[in-house]
Structure 1
Amino acid sequence: MNLYDLPPVAAVLDAAHALLMHLATVLTPFAGASSAAAAIVLVTLLVRAALIPVGISQAKAERTRARLAPRLAELRRRHAKDPDRLQRETMALYADEGASPFAGCLPMLIQAPIVGVIYALFVLPTIAGHPNALLEQTLLGVPLGSSLAGSIASGTLTPGALLVFGTLIGAIALVGELTRRAFRPQPTPQDGPAARPGEGASGTDAAAAVLGSAAMLRVVGLLQFVTAVIAAFVPLAAALYLLVTVTWTLGQRLVLRRVYPLPPALPALPA
């Protein structure tokens, strides 16, 4: 059974299709042939504005994680060989602080169905039994339902389309790099440089901790560019949504970091 044929899903897609087409009509005097793309930008901005309270919650969760980082690192060191105990102790630590380790995941969970709807709107030839008029819409002459990877595979990629895709994906990568630089954490050994002989990790273990932390930071840095890779495979409309989203997210995080600066870390747990 096709998921998109289920009545609730078809109803949501039909309503989203009607909304975008109506907005495109309203925006035509201002955006011309790219009115549907402008409608996507407008909808994205409205969605992100509605999620501002969630962003505030995420900023507060980031403060909590920064404050608890030494204690979480100590728990990982103590219970490295007992995952169940580590999970219980971690949850207990968050409970004592009145926080949740999952508080920062809500924005991604909320946006996932929105991206899914936009993706479906620009790949399905029919929606709720009627032709999908959105597939006829363009951005600077490039169909919103086309993708860079699909155009290359089909041999239909034109210089104009390459310029549009390249600009969009390059902008997403640039925002990813700016985000990486603005919020780059610093690697620290779990036991600190002042550990006395016989306490905590050995010098070799501490060095390994630093190297492991540095490797983890490199992975986190690369994750900032995953969105740019995804944008090469999804329809142009979804890539446009992603660009507006990552740009808004960067600006919002910069503002919230000033409003909710990271506090000093708590001391490590007593032995």
Structure 2
Amino acid sequence: MFGFLDVPAQGAQHAVAWLADLVHPLSGELSTAVAIVASIALIRLALHPLARAAVRGEKKRAALAPQLQKLRDKHKNDPARLQEATLSLYRESGASLFAGCLPMLAQAPFFMVLYRLFSSATLNGTPNAMLAHTVFGVPLGGHFATALTAGPQVLVFAGLLACLGCVAYFTARWQRNRPGAGDVPGARLIGLMPYGTVLIAAVVPLAAGLYLLTTTAWTVTERAFLHRRLVVG
């Protein structure tokens, strides 16, 4: 179904293999996992300008909160007029409703390629050698459901899921504490969304789970830093 990803997945395979060879003297059998994490870090560094734009957008929207509340009070009985006035306010202020989505959307192709790399037995008809690499004895292409019957292997997944749960907790807490967070429709449901990464990691290959852990930890750290340091004029 996703055969069109085989070519970029093969390119990713060569890149990860090269990085794994580079770090092997220091990381041993964990070299492929370390290479995956390093690859994600490089991708996130490249996407850092989008993260800065997203935080600027969030700060601008937070600054508009008092004006938005006035619009809600003024047009509470006219949803169409409220929507029009809200969009007009965003245009005049230069704020964007969608800037916060840019980093996530930009990452989507990388996640799809990585998922293909560690979920397909063959790439363009060639056996996928990456599936043989392991993390503490667990294949990077392995799944949580399989590890449940493999004794100690389940501990690796348990550790991964626990780490993702911790990152999700801090992400949800940060989202709740943002200015104006309570004014967003469905705020409680949005607060639960970070925990979706735990559910996803339970069904995708271990390598994809490592991707989720690395990128979500990077996101919450990056956003916290930028919200403290980035000044919007």
Normalized per residue, which structure has more helix?
2
Q: CA deviation at 1:81?
A: 5.9
- Match for residue 125 of structure 1 among 121, 125, 131: 121
1:220, distance to aligned residue in structure 2 (A): 2.6
Cα RMSD (Å): 2.5
1:231 corresponds to which letter in structure 2?
A: A
More moved, 106-115 vs 225-234: 225-234
Partner residue, 2:35: 39
Write out per-residue CA displacement over residues 202-249 of structure 1, whole angstroms, 9 at most, x where no aligned residue.
xxxxxxxx8xx6994432321121112211111100110111111111
Cα offset, 1:80, TM superposition: 5.5
Counterpart of 2:189 in structure 1 is 219
The AA in structure 2 aligned to 1:116 is M
Residue 15, structure 1, aligned to residue 14, structure 2: no
Distance of 1:135 and 1:58 partners within structure 2: 36
**Correspondence 1:93-108 to 2 at 5 A:** 93-108=89-104
- How far off its partner does 1:252 sit? 1.0
Query: How many residue pairs end up in the alignment?
Result: 232
Secondary structure of 1:241's aligned partner: helix
Measured in 2, the distance between the counterparts of 1:186 and 1:237 equals: 32
Picking from 228, 243, 246, the partner of 2:216 is 246
For 2:152, what is the secondary structure of its paired residue? Answer: helix
1:256 aligns with 2:226: yes
| Alignment gaps of 5+ in structure 1 | 189-209, 264-271
Distance 2:92 2:216 in 1: 33
1:71 to 67, 70, 79: 67
Tell me, in whole angstroms, the C-alpha distance in 2 between the residues paired with 1:96 and 1:242. Answer: 36
Counterpart-to-counterpart distance in 2, 1:186 and 1:223: 16
Classify 1:184/1:34 alpha carbon distance in 2 versus 1 (closer, same or farther; 3 Å). same
Does the aligned pair in 1 maintain the 2:6–2:116 contact within 8 Å? no
Task: Say yes or no: does 1:181 pair with 2:180.
Answer: no
Deviation per CA, 1:156-205: give whole Å up to 9, x if none. 632322111111111111111122333423798xxxxxxxxxxxxxxxxx
1:59 CA drift (Å): 0.9
| 1:21–1:186 distance in 2 versus 1, CA, 3 Å | closer
Q: Match for 1:169 among 156, 161, 174?
A: 161
Mapped contact 2:57–2:99 kept (Cα < 8 A): yes
How far apart, in 1, do the equivalents of 2:20 and 2:74 lie? 58
- Give the structure-2-normalised TM-score: 0.88
Q: Please, which of 130, 149, 157 is the counterpart of residue 149 of structure 2?
A: 157
1:201: which partner in 2? none
Q: Tell me how far apart the structure 2 counterparts of residues 23 and 65 of structure 1 sit (CA, whole Å).
A: 40
Offset, 1:45:
0.7
Task: Work out the CA distance in 1 between the residues paired with 2:176 and 2:57.
Answer: 17
Q: Secondary structure at the match of 1:146?
A: coil
Give the stretch that moved more between structures: 22-31 or 253-262: 253-262
